[in-house]
């Protein structure tokens, strides 16, 4: 009897093992035979709702925003950890734009035709005299490039030798940015983005955009150039590999500053007339939300999951939580905040 029971147990064990193996083969065969397009479809990432816009992880470094106040001729230094103004730096007359490079803040002053070069640690500064009404500026190859709107040119100055060169034939140049290789300049009168090769200091290409372009921004990986156009209330999207406008998106009235999310799927555009930010989906190619801010927003900077918005009329910086799409703080700065740059706290 005992032998008979052991024999039965062995048979049951063998049967259970066989059934398990058969089940395993059936399941894996179903996955293997599943149509390939069905497998691919299940892995497609669905675009998030505006309130679920993904943000990148930030490191533990501390940052400050340098807010350019056009009507009080100074810079407010805003600590982004405490959200408090921790200093004020005088500039030249009627500052219009700024650029950070190697611990130096370069501020173009439209009222007296100078560039203030400010040490971000000591706040000591020196002045470059360039002449005429300056709009914006950047630094490339140890040289300062500034747009001179009323002279239809870019002026280039070596801070050491003080030698000035010129790049002419850019009608009403205003905003300037760089991708580290090329310089992009807006031609307000012609509705163009003018590309300058800093190795030759010559115009390399002109790209048609909308009417009266106002501001530019590059995506994090520099795959797209975004341009706001105040003449027709649109956003131009330019793939940097193609170097031509491929998408035009309607936005709210008087679009100005731009900020792009790291995933390149959502863009924020400041509307000066409506006192709000448009949330633009590049996937849908349309506005999908708005965020109320202060009076007369003109410039945007992003740091992690926070947007900083300079409100020219309201004389404030709106702090926006991107996850909530809501203003969480309003910080008083100088008169007429017109531009911002963000850098590491010194």
Domain limits at 38?
Answer: 2-42
The more confidently predicted of residues 56 and 197 is 197
| 129 and 180 share one domain | yes
pLDDT at 50 over 80: no
The more confidently predicted of residues 6 and 251 is 251
| 334 and 253 share one domain | yes
Tell me, what's the pLDDT at 262? Answer: 86
Tell me, what's the pLDDT at 310? Answer: 98
Tell me, what's the pLDDT at 131? Answer: 79
Q: For residue 177, count other CB atoms closer than 10 A to its CB.
A: 18
- Beta strands 104-109 and 202-208 are unpaired
Sheet strands side by side (includes 134-140) = 134-140, 143-148, 153-157, 164-167
Share of the chain above pLDDT 70, in %: 83
* Mean pLDDT within 205-211: 97
Phi and psi angles of residue 250, each rounded to the nearest 5 degrees, phi first: -65, 140
pLDDT at 190 over 50: yes
How high is the mean pLDDT of the chain?
Answer: 87
Rounded to whole angstroms, the Cα distance separating 289 from 108 reads: 34
| 204 and 246 share one domain | yes
pLDDT at 298 over 70: yes
| 20 and 57 share one domain | no
| 12 and 82 share one domain | no
What tens digit of pLDDT does each residue of 16-43 get?
656 555 555 544 444 334 443 332 232 2
Q: For residue 273, give the CATH number of its domain.
A: 2.130.10.10
Q: With b meaning 16 or more CB within 10 Å and e meaning fewer, what string describes 134-156?
A: bbbbbbbeebbbbbbbebbbbbb
Rounded to whole angstroms, the Cα distance separating 175 from 217 reads: 10
* Mean pLDDT within 264-269: 92
| 259 and 295 share one domain | yes
The number of folded domains in the chain is 2
| 19 and 162 share one domain | no
| 35 and 142 share one domain | no
| 57 and 160 share one domain | yes
Q: What is the end-to-end Cα distance of the chain in Å, rounded?
A: 88
| 17 and 64 share one domain | no
Predicted confidence band of residue 11 (pLDDT cuts 50, 70, 90): low
pLDDT at 324 over 90: yes
pLDDT at 174 over 70: yes
> How far from 232 is each of 9, 237, 281, CA to CA, in Å?
83, 14, 19
DSSP-based three-state secondary structure for 42: helix
> How far from 327 is each of 137, 255, 276, 320, CA to CA, in Å?
30, 19, 10, 4
What tens digit of pLDDT does each residue of 96-155 get?
999 999 999 999 999 999 999 999 999 999 999 987 778 999 999 899 999 999 899 999
pLDDT at 80 over 60: yes
Rounded to whole angstroms, the Cα distance separating 342 from 87 reads: 15
Please name which of 129, 130, 122, 126 lies closest in space to residue 149, comparing C-alpha atoms: 130
* Mean pLDDT within 240-269: 94
**Residue labelled with tokens 């200091």:** 201
Non-local (6+) Cβ contacts of 172 within 8 A are: 149, 152, 187, 188, 189, 190
| 86 and 10 share one domain | no
| 16 and 130 share one domain | no
């Amino acid at each position: 009897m005992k032998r008979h029971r052991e024999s039965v147990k062995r048979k049951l064990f063998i049967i259970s093992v066989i059934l398990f193996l058969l089940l395993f083969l059936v399941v894996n065969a179903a996955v293997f035979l599943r149509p390939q397009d069905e497998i691919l479809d299940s892995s497609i990432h669905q675009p998030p709702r505006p309130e679920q816009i993904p943000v990148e992880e930030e490191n533990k470094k501390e940052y400050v925003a340098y807010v350019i106040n056009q009507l009080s001729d100074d810079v407010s230094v805003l600590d982004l950890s405490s959200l408090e103004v921790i200093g004020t730096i005088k500039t030249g007359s009627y500052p219009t734009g700024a650029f950070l490079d190697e611990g130096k803040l370069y501020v173009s002053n439209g009222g007296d035709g100078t560039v203030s070069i400010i040490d971000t640690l000591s706040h000591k500064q020196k002045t470059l005299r360039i002449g005429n009404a300056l709009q914006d500026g950047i630094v490339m190859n140890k040289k300062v490039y500034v747009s001179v709107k009323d002279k239809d040119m870019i002026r280039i100055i070596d801070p050491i030798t003080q030698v000035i060169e010129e790049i002419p034939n850019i009608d009403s140049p205003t905003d300037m940015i760089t991708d580290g290789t090329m310089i992009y300049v807006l031609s307000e009168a012609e509705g163009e983005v003018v590309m300058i090769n800093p190795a030759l200091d010559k115009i390399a290409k002109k790209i048609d955009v909308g009417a009266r372009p106002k501001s530019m921004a590059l995506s994090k990986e520099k795959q797209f150039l975004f341009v706001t156009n105040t003449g027709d209330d649109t956003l131009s999207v330019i793939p940097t590999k193609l170097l031509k406008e491929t998408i035009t998106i309607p936005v709210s009235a008087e679009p100005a500053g731009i900020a792009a999310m790291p995933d390149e799927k959502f863009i924020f555009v400041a509307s000066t007339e409506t006192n709000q930010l448009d949330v633009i989906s590049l996937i849908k190619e349309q506005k999908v939300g708005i965020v109320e801010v202060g009076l007369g927003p003109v410039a945007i900077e992003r740091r992690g999951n926070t947007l900083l918005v300079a409100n020219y009329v309201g004389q404030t910086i709106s702090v926006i939580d991107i996850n909530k799409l809501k203003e969480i703080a309003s910080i008083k700065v100088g008169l007429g905040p017109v531009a911002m740059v963000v850098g590491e706290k010194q």
